[in-house]
Structure 1
Amino acid sequence: MAVKITGYYKLPNEIEPQLIEFDKVFNISFMRKYTKYKTFAKFLTGGKFNITCQKDFEELPEELMDKHVAKNTQFKTWQEMLDFATDKYIISKQK
């Protein structure tokens, strides 16, 4: 899977939400430390999610993602994992 997944996030000191690539938010260091996977792509593949484009990811039922996250990461829900990773990414960009 070589699909680039992105999301819009309101970063500190920014007026408009910014487009962020998930490969940067969920980098190898983050994935190895907090999940059972080395990359975000392998995380999605491990969940047996058929993600071939951004739309596939956006249409993925959150309850399925929550189950996969709870089983394979240190987080209870997808939103918790996403918020934590985004916060870490923002902090790293401010350095």
Structure 2
Amino acid sequence: MIAVNAATPLRVEAAHDPALQPALRECVARAVRRYLSDVDSEPSEGLHALVVAEVELPLLREVMSWYSGNQSRAAAALGINRATLRKKLHQYGLS
């Protein structure tokens, strides 16, 4: 069994490992449940955008760090165009 926690770096190749995908899903599910509990089950509109932004920022930061700032390799690992990656990095102030 593979254990993943916040301190464990996740290799991009491992993202396709079926054993790790449920761990990531469960982490997101727990965070959403906690958020809904904290706002007393009445979140403001835009919950999807909030969750995407909260996940995307650390995702971009970690992937860019993993590839030592190489945008071409990071974009390939993320499965997005390099121009899209640059736009997102700028959006989050990571450029």
Instruction: Answer whether TM exceeds 0.5 for this pair.
Output: no
**Bigger RCO of structures 1 and 2 (CA < 8 A, at least 6 apart):** 1
Q: Which has the higher strand share?
A: 1
Query: Which of structures 1 and 2 has the bigger CA Rg?
Result: 2
TM superposition score normalised by structure 2: 0.29
Structure having the larger proportion of residues in helix: 2
Give the TM-score, by structure 1 length: 0.29
